[in-house]
Amino acid sequence: MVCGPVFPHEVVGFSGGNKYFFPGIAGAEIINFTHWLGAVITNFRVIGAGYTPVRAVVDRAAALIPRPTSCFALVVTHEGLAGMYYGSPQDAWTAASELSAKKHIVYVDKPFRRVLSVMPELYDDLWTGAKGMYKMEPAMADGGEVVIYSPRITEVSYTHGKILDEIGYHCRDYFMKQWERFRHYPGGVVAHSTHVKGLGTYDASTRVECPRVQVTLATGIPEERCRRINLGYLDPSSIRLDEWRGRESEGILLVPRAGETLFRLKQASTATSS
């Protein structure tokens, strides 16, 4: 029996259900496989997208469990429990994901050109705080900027920081067009790199990478390290929240508790990477 929340997720579409088995309590092989599969499809297309190829892999793996399985799937908001469903992991997840799509996704008319994602204190490194980008990317204008703001974040990843210092943050095509160079790195870590960087292109002949959205860190991570891992830097002490507040009509958005709500355009952007 599994019990856990359902919300938009950058790898599988919506969390919950059989994901609590695979990769929840599974090993590195399926973790790396599913995360890289999601990265190849891209966060832009996967997050909050319902039943995805990654979800199909998760359900296929769960079908191999030689025991009956069941699930409590919860949809939780700041107001409390919005819904709880019980049944097979597939059925409970399906019902919960439909409610989550109504509770956890905000649809906007126009894309934003600048967003300040203020990360809650529960995120203590960029690995977790990166949700400030994941859940904003589908609502960003081409050439826009997401600023991840959290002065208390001083580490890229307590678990995978060394690898991320080596490979940096890049769009999917940067890795796929140089796969022999990167294939020995864990797929889950490379996937995280692409999720943070977002959609973009890479010309192997000129070695020029063009991300669709600029990601800037206003954190406790030093400027030199931000540049080294291929992310922008902004001094967090220069941030004045009031300067960002109430400017939605200008294409500027302040998200007070970023990472909890997915933002999407009502009309899906055509700015996608093939």
Indicate whether 65 and 137 sit together in one domain.
Answer: no
Q: Which helix (H) or strand (E) holds 61?
A: helix 53-62
Same domain, 129 and 199: yes
Whether residue 225 lies inside any domain: the answer is: yes
Same domain? 213 vs 259: yes
> What is d(CA 227, CA 168) in angstroms, rounded to the nearest whole number?
9
Angle of helix 53-62 relative to helix 89-103, nearest 10 degrees? 150
> For position 272, what pLDDT does the model report?
42
Answer with the one of 103, 121, 137 that is the final residue of a domain.
103
Q: Over its length of 274 residues, how does the chain's per-residue pLDDT go in tens digits? A: 999 999 999 999 999 999 999 988 888 999 999 999 999 999 999 999 999 999 999 999 999 999 999 999 999 998 999 999 999 999 999 999 999 999 999 999 999 999 999 999 999 999 999 999 999 999 999 999 999 999 999 999 999 999 999 999 999 999 999 999 999 999 999 999 999 999 999 999 999 999 999 999 999 999 999 999 999 999 999 999 999 999 999 999 999 999 999 999 997 644 443 3
The Cα–Cα gap between 26 and 21 comes to 7
Asked if residue 44 is part of any domain, the answer here is: yes
Q: Are residues 59 and 176 in the same domain?
A: no
24 and 129 in a single domain? The answer is no
Residue 274 counted as domain residue: no
Three-state DSSP class for residue 266: coil
Within 10 Å of residue 15's Cβ, how many Cβ atoms? 21
Write out the two tokens for 70: 């069941």
pLDDT at 267: 78
Residue 128 placed within a domain: yes
- 117 lies in the same domain as 232: yes
Report which of 18, 77, 74, 29 is spatially closest to residue 51, judged by C-alpha positions. Answer: 18
Q: Of 54, 81, 103, which residue sits at a domain end? A: 103
Are 180 and 221 within one domain? yes
Strands (E), 168-251: 200-203, 208-211, 214-219, 232-233
Q: Final residue of a domain: which of 79, 103, 127?
A: 103
Q: What's the domain range around 33?
A: 2-103
Q: In terms of domains, do 44 and 154 share one?
A: no
What does the block give as tokens for 270?
Answer: 């055509």
For residue 270, tell me if it sits in a domain.
no
Residue 14: give its domain's CATH number. 3.40.50.11440
Number of domains forming the structure of the chain: 2
Q: Indicate if 119 and 186 belong to the same structural domain.
A: yes
Amino acid at 228: R
* Cα 105 to chain centroid, rounded: 14
> Do the bridges between strand 140-150 and strand 214-219 make them parallel or antiparallel, or are there none, so unpaired?
parallel
d(CA 67, CA 274): 40
CB atoms within 10 A of CB 4: 17
Query: Under a CB-based contact definition with an 8 Å cutoff, are residues 271 and 144 in contact?
Result: no
**In degrees rounded to 5, what are phi and psi of residue 96?**
-70, -40
Tell me, what's the pLDDT at 268?
Answer: 64
Nearest one of 54, 4, 52 to 25, comparing CA atoms: 4
85 and 200 belong to one structural domain: no
Is this model's pTM higher than 0.85 or not?
yes
Can you name the residues that pair with 113 across neighbouring β-strands?
A: none
138, 242: one domain = yes
Residue 10 located in a structural domain: yes
In a domain, 39, yes or no: yes
Domain match, 27 and 128 both: no
Scanning 75-159, the segments in alpha helix (DSSP H) are: 89-103, 126-129, 131-134
CATH number of the domain bearing residue 162: 3.90.226.30
Angle between helix axes 28-41 and 53-62 (nearest 10 degrees) is 160
Residue 131 placed within a domain = yes
- 211 preceded by a cis bond (ω within 30 of 0): no
Residue environment code for 52-63, b if the CB has 16+ CB neighbours within 10 A, otherwise e: bebbebbbebbe
